[in-house]
Amino acid sequence: MDKAILEYTNWGLSLIPIKYKDKKPAVDSWKRYQAERATDEEIKKWFNGGTPSNIAIVCGKISDGLVVLDYDKQALELFVQHNDFWLEKFGKKIDELTPLVQTGGGGYHVYLKVKLLPQLFHPVGEDRKNIPDIQSEGGYVLAPPSIHPSGNPYRRLNPQVKDIFHVGSLLDLGIKTPVAGQREQNEPGWVTKALEGVGEGERDNTCTKLAGYFRNVVPQDVTRAILLDFAKRCSPPLDEKTVFKCVNSTYRLYTAEVAIQTPLPCYNNLIGKVPTSFAPTAALRLAVQMWRQNMSREQAHSVLKIWNDYNLSDKQLDSTLATAYSGKLKLGCADIEAAGFCDPACPIWGKRYMERDVKVEAVADAIERLIKVKTDPPYYRVTVMGRQVNVSNDELFEIKQFQKCVMTSANFIPHIGMKSPEWHIYINKKLAEREEEEAPADSGAAVNITSLVYDWLQQTPKAINGADVRAGRPLERDETYYFRAKDALGYLKKQHRINILPHELWQILRSLGASLCTRRLGPEIFKLWSLPLNPAFIEESDVTSFEDDAESNTKVSEKVTNQKGGQKELNLSPELEI
CA atoms within 13 A on the CB side of 404: 9
> What is residue 91's DSSP assignment?
S
Residue 73 near residue 166, CB atoms below 8 Å: no
- Percent of the residues in the chain that have a pLDDT greater than 90, as a whole number: 16
| Range with the largest mean pLDDT of 169-183, 214-228, 322-336, 371-385 | 371-385
Long-range contacts of 44-50 (CB under 8 A, 24+ apart): 46/15, 46/16, 46/17, 47/1, 47/2, 47/5, 47/17, 48/1, 48/2
SS3 60: strand
Question: Would the pLDDT of 49 be above 50?
Answer: yes
Q: How far is CA 91 from CA 81, 97, 158, 163, 576, in A?
A: 15, 10, 17, 17, 73
Q: Alpha-carbon distance 480 to 538, whole Å?
A: 12
Question: Residue 359's Cα: distance from chain center in Å?
Answer: 30
Break the chain into its structural domains and give their ranges. Answer: 2-173, 189-257, 265-352, 358-438, 446-577
pLDDT in tens, 63-75: 999 999 999 888 8
SS3 282: helix
Least confident of 144-148, 286-290, 470-474: 286-290
Q: Alpha-carbon distance 52 to 21, whole Å?
A: 9
Q: Alpha-carbon distance 122 to 138, whole Å?
A: 12
Question: Would the pLDDT of 25 be above 50?
Answer: yes
Q: Alpha-carbon distance 141 to 16, whole Å?
A: 10
pTM: 0.37
Question: Residue 109's Cα: distance from chain center in Å?
Answer: 32
Q: Alpha-carbon distance 563 to 64, whole Å?
A: 50
Question: Would the pLDDT of 356 be above 70?
Answer: no
pLDDT in tens, 148-206: 988 899 999 999 999 999 988 888 888 876 533 344 433 446 777 888 888 877 888 88
Q: Alpha-carbon distance 106 to 148, whole Å?
A: 10
What's the topology of domain 2-173? Prim-pol fold (3.30.2250)
Confidence bin at 482 (pLDDT 50/70/90): very high
Question: Would the pLDDT of 408 be above 50?
Answer: yes
Helix axes 279-292, 297-307, angle to 10 degrees: 150
Mean pLDDT across 239-256: 73
Cis geometry, peptide bond prior to residue 219 (ω within 30 degrees of 0) = no
Residue 17 near residue 29, CB atoms below 8 Å: no
Q: Which residue has the higher pLDDT, 292 or 557?
A: 292
Question: Would the pLDDT of 433 be above 80?
Answer: yes
| Range with the largest mean pLDDT of 255-264, 431-440, 492-501 | 431-440
Question: Which residue type occupies 379?
Answer: Y
Q: Alpha-carbon distance 488 to 482, whole Å?
A: 11
Cis geometry, peptide bond prior to residue 574 (ω within 30 degrees of 0) = yes
Distance in angstroms between the alpha carbons of the first and the last residue of the chain: 49
Give the distance between the most distant pair of CA atoms in the chain.
105
Confidence bin at 412 (pLDDT 50/70/90): confident
Q: Alpha-carbon distance 112 to 82, whole Å?
A: 14
Q: Alpha-carbon distance 45 to 15, whole Å?
A: 13
Residue 325 near residue 297, CB atoms below 8 Å: yes
Mean pLDDT across 457-466: 87
If you write DSSP's letter for every residue of 487-507 in order, what string do you get? HHHHHHHHHH-----HHHHHH
Helix axes 314-324, 279-292, angle to 10 degrees: 40
